Structure 1
Amino acid sequence: MENLMKMYIDGEWVTSISGETREIINPANGDIIGICTEGDERDVKEAVKAAKRAFYEDGWMDTTPDVRAALLLKTADLLEKRSEEFALIETINNGKTLDESRYDISDSVHCLRYYAGIINKPSGQTFYVEDNVQTMVIREPIGVCGQIVPWNFPLLMAVWKLAPALAAGNTVIFKPAEITPMSVIKLFEIFHEVGIPKGVVNIVLGSGSKVGQEIASNMDIDKIAFTGGTSTGRKIMSSAAANIKNISLELGGKSPNIIFADADMELALDYALYGIFLNQGQVCAAGSRLLLEDSIYDEFIEKLKQRATKIKVGNGIDRDTKMGPLISRDHMEKVLSYIEIGINEGARLVCGGHRIVDNGMDKGFFIEPTIFADTTPDMRIVKEEIFGPVLVIQKFSDEKDSIRLANDSEYGLAGAVFTKDITKAMRVIKKLRAGITWVNNYQPAYCEAPWGGYKQSGIGRELGTIGYEEYTEVKQISINLAPKPNYWF
């Protein structure tokens, strides 16, 4: 089939063994924008064979840091050169605005260069212990890594996983989300162009139930890294137990954004909107729970409504669009069902709440920026991750009350505090059970700092030196400096 998007296994572009295909849809208008080959368990097994051979037999595990760094730097350079092409692909396939896509591409370039720069920086330890023994600790690559990413940040999430894994000397079987594979396929074209050896990077396209399940349970995969929903994370964790895989999971969130009365209101308004409506609210760390101090509750909500109702929703490729479509019809209907649940639970609908079908948007998957006020902790819209442009607002009376409400969640991914009192901010942040926190800010992520959550938001961390270490094993080496028999037996 002409223009069929293929998988990359053992240095070759291949179609699936089954011959199945999948249509890729533009969420802004429902158009078919491509057809890709659709793999299954058999394709994963072929990729694993290639990755295992590349790691153990072909010597990738022994490549020097400068070789791996050079490959990552070349990849970054080519990605940067083609950044506009990648941004357009990302917007057409995912729906986010071009400005957001451009930021994601830029961040991906930076992440590749960051990990190229730290390859030879990690240090070990040495100990001089009793009995004339010198002990040292070194880090080695884990081996064959399976990586699974979601559809909300297709390229960026891929680079967050691929860069540290390759930097540490591992080989990879990579699975993009089945509905957003296009930018990652293009990234693998760059991998091929820069000369990453055969079998080191492999991409298998297909569903989570087939390709994802095989990656999670395959006995020859040594580590799995997954970003996605908590329910899927539990299944992966269970499957990974088959061979006690090293695992890292970045899962769901229902993150609190706490606004105190003494905060800069314009600043807090700006980031309250940015925290929930960026990428149509399809962000694991979205500030989906807004906690307002009672004395500013009504005023803040009214100003928030005024700003939210002016957000320009439309096709992401249009320059004036600020919020694009949701990723798919199924996901749009899920979000709309949550809005209906919120209304039935008695929450006050401040604005939004409907699908947008006018001005030619009836074929896309658009929802108005939606805000609920007067919510209570027992409501499903407060407890469950909606993953869409839906903000729920709660009221608190004092610092202690804000902490209680903020931590009243099974999740613990992110959270923020807005106040001019930095000592108060730090008191609250230290009590917040979350892995990613901000003060007078919301959403920025830096590849220099670790990313991950507490509780049911996952285990392990991505990014930073800690993210690099997640792709290494720790080995102890003890050298007898005075070898002689001990005559124990």
Structure 2
Amino acid sequence: MTAEPTLPAGASRPVDVDALSEATRNRTWSMLIAGELVPAGSGASYEDVSPVTGKTVAQVPDATAEDVETAVVAARAAFKEWAATPIAERARVVREIARRVREHAPEFGALDTLDGGNIIRLSTADAYAGADALDYFADCAVALKGETVPISPSALHYTTQEPVGLVARIIPYNHPIMFATAKIAAPLVAGNCVLLKPPHQTPLSALRLGEIVADLLPKGVLSIITGQGPETGQALVEHPDIRRIAFIGSPQTGLRVQRAAAETTVKHVTLELGGKNALIAFPDADPKAVAASVVRGMNFTWAGQSCGSTSRLVVHEDIREETVAEVVRLIRDMRIGDPFDEQADVGCLVSPEQFAKVNSYLSIATGEGATCAVGGAPSQPAARPHALIVEPTVFTGVTPDMRIAQEEVFGPILSVLSFTTESEAVEIANSVEYGLTGSVWTDDLRRAHRVADALDTGYVWINDSARHFAGTPFGGWKASGLGQEECVEELVSFTQPKAVHVNYA
């Protein structure tokens, strides 16, 4: 996800937060199951609390395994019709979803800021980014083609790509509407039925999406199922009729998904998990450009809640002091305030649990001997005294063995490590269990390629950070995951190949 995605002119609008909170609290929120907007079968719901206001903003359906079964039965019934629908028509439907998402982008942005605490301009931009992803995969529909294999005379050997069937997509809380839209695109275009589970912390925009697009798809092709505890996700992962699972979230939960899936039947599982990503700055790099890139790449605007955050600045000793000074200056210029304020630069952490976790790492860092150069404490802006905000924080004097150099915080904490040789920089960068992204800053072309080759990561920037480019595979190595997304390979991963051999001798 881009650190600061483009927002069309006039797309963001002032929000009356009290009126929005009252509206979300007083209305009925329903899941989309079997083409109908329904409560949980048990009637159960859970409280959705805003990290901006600290108040309950909705009662959300708390689904059980029985609700998942209802969705699966409907998806099974719908699958053959949807798979037989010409791919151009499936692409047209996905483009119409994109059009409606853009039409409602300000509404989605307001819901996500209230629900998850991301700053309003970025929450709104997320809706447009999700719509762009829908359009991208609709455009990729023609890539779902087979091939002929000229292996023997008097025979035709060819392959086709056919949809898997039922797909579970389990998404995280940091980009609610973007993930809810972008992550249904490829499986729908490929001809699958999708069962989407939004995060329990930020479900509202996904539920609203269900209301907006329910009439576009045959009943059962798309279900949106919410649940607070592990039962809903577990029921999706373990259901024998769901043969394809795509999960985005923590490594710990990803391992549980793999384990649970393996214990039921043979499933294709892809995982986009955590990161402890290094931005390496060599002595020939411009310290100001490096500082701007690491601040952008850290995703402080998302409160550091980003798997791709450049949370380790690995900087050559010769430019360390100047680079850190510029990072500190840029952070001090960031505006902390009401996330609904268009001028705010720092969002909330999503929940009290995440807020407590991040604060615990502030104590861990100082306890291990790191020095806080800026930030290092919660912030309570006058406009939003209950907002779950932690100041963007930089720790210097960090060594590779410290926990803040090894563990994913998923919060606004940047660790600064120094090096003197190229091999030392690569060793530090590769010393963690993760392998999602890496960034290399240098004017030496040979060095840039050498280091890019040496990094154990799936996505590398040279003299850049944070930006994603549609069509290039995004995915992690090591504990950061399995599979690639945001590219044609993602679309193909929701199909299965069939080889056909015709003897015409």
* C-alpha contact (below 8 Å) 1:160/1:462 kept by paired residues: no
Q: What letter corresponds to residue 51 of structure 1 in structure 2? A: A
TM-score (norm 1): 0.95
Q: How far apart, CA to CA, are the structure 2 residues paired with 1:60 and 1:361? A: 47
Confirm or deny that 1:66 pairs with 2:88.
yes
Equivalent residue, structure 2, for 1:405: 428
Equivalent residue, structure 2, for 1:8: 32
Aligned with residue 178 of structure 1, among 191, 200, 214: 200
* C-alpha contact (below 8 Å) 1:87/1:98 kept by paired residues: yes
SS of 1:247's partner is: strand
Q: Deviations over 1:270-298 (max 9, x none)?
A: 11111111311000010001100010112
Question: Which runs of structure 2 are paired with 1:221-236 in the superposition (5 Å)?
Answer: 221-236=242-257
Q: What letter corresponds to residue 127 of structure 1 in structure 2? A: V
Q: How far apart, CA to CA, are the structure 2 residues paired with 1:99 and 1:280? A: 14
Question: Which runs of structure 2 are paired with 1:73-222 in the superposition (5 Å)?
Answer: 73-130=95-152, 132-193=154-215, 195-222=216-243
Equivalent residue, structure 2, for 1:474: 497
Q: How far apart, CA to CA, are the structure 2 residues paired with 1:303 and 1:67? A: 52
Aligned with residue 476 of structure 2, among 453, 457, 470: 453
Moved more, 315-324 or 416-425: 416-425
Deviation for aligned residue 1:159: 2.3
TM-score (norm 2): 0.92
SS of 1:198's partner is: coil
Equivalent residue, structure 1, for 2:411: 388
Deviation for aligned residue 1:423: 2.6
Deviation for aligned residue 1:48: 0.8
Q: What letter corresponds to residue 239 of structure 2 in structure 1? A: N
* C-alpha contact (below 8 Å) 1:283/1:387 kept by paired residues: yes
Q: How far apart, CA to CA, are the structure 2 residues paired with 1:113 and 1:474? A: 24
Moved more, 310-319 or 381-390: 310-319
Moved more, 214-223 or 122-131: 122-131
Aligned with residue 74 of structure 2, among 21, 40, 50: 50
SS of 1:129's partner is: coil
SS of 2:424's partner is: helix
SS of 1:126's partner is: coil
Question: Which runs of structure 2 are paired with 1:342-421 in the superposition (5 Å)?
Answer: 342-421=365-444
Q: How far apart, CA to CA, are the structure 2 residues paired with 1:371 and 1:78? A: 41
Deviation for aligned residue 1:358: 4.9
Q: How far apart, CA to CA, are the structure 1 residues paired with 2:128 and 2:454? A: 34
Deviation for aligned residue 1:329: 1.0
Q: How far apart, CA to CA, are the structure 2 residues paired with 1:460 and 1:174? A: 19
Deviation for aligned residue 1:310: 2.5
Deviation for aligned residue 1:29: 1.8
Q: How far apart, CA to CA, are the structure 2 residues paired with 1:188 and 1:426? A: 45
Q: How far apart, CA to CA, are the structure 1 residues paired with 2:53 and 2:228? A: 23
Aligned-pair identity (%): 33
**Gaps spanning 5+ residues in structure 2: where?**
1-24
Equivalent residue, structure 2, for 1:487: none
**Gaps spanning 5+ residues in structure 1: where?**
483-489
Q: How far apart, CA to CA, are the structure 1 residues paired with 2:130 and 2:175? A: 11
Q: How far apart, CA to CA, are the structure 1 residues paired with 2:145 and 2:70? A: 35
* C-alpha contact (below 8 Å) 1:256/1:290 kept by paired residues: yes
Q: How far apart, CA to CA, are the structure 1 residues paired with 2:235 and 2:153? A: 48
Deviation for aligned residue 1:425: 1.3
Segments ≥4 residues shifted beyond 6 Å? none
Q: How far apart, CA to CA, are the structure 1 residues paired with 2:228 and 2:100? A: 29
Deviation for aligned residue 1:160: 2.7
- Let me know the Cα RMSD of the aligned residues: 1.4
Q: How far apart, CA to CA, are the structure 2 residues paired with 1:422 and 1:321? A: 38
Aligned length in residues: 479
Deviation for aligned residue 1:20: 1.2
* C-alpha contact (below 8 Å) 1:8/1:202 kept by paired residues: yes
* C-alpha contact (below 8 Å) 2:143/2:488 kept by paired residues: no
